Amino acid sequence: MANKTSQHILSTSANLLGFCLFIITSLNIADKAETSIIDELTSIITVFLTLSCMFSFVSIRTSNPKREQRLETTADYLFFTSLAGILIIILLITFNFVE
């Protein structure tokens, strides 16, 4: 079975990794990292996105159809969890600016 979403997950996860690293860097530059849960949450999301990239890459490279499907499904779940986490991060940032 051909990969349906692995290529998309790989490229999008890599782009979102850049977004998360930008947030972490911005918080560290502004000296807000110690007082903010956003830094910790972003670090966790960064790990999920990295794992999603790795699973989708291995899914593309494997020749075993069952393993390919299992890896692609795992990458898909990690990616969706990361998107939900990024939504929470954006809401937290928005609420911090409103206050």
- Find out whether 89 and 42 touch, Cβ atoms under 8 Å: yes
pTM: 0.81
Residue 56's CB is within 10 A of a number of other CB atoms, namely 28
Q: Is the pLDDT score of 89 beyond 70? A: yes
Residue 51's CB is within 10 A of a number of other CB atoms, namely 17
With pLDDT > 70 as the criterion, what percentage of the chain qualifies?
91
pLDDT for res 7: 76
Q: Which residues of 64-93 are buried (b: 16+ CB within 10 A; e: fewer)?
A: eeeebeebbebbbebbebbbebbeebeeeb
C-alpha–C-alpha distance, residues 38 and 97, integer Å: 13
Tens of pLDDT, residue by residue over 24-67, are: 777 777 776 556 788 888 889 999 999 998 998 898 888 899 99
Tell me the two tokens of residue 98. Answer: 């409103």
Residue ranges covered by each domain of the chain: 6-24+35-98
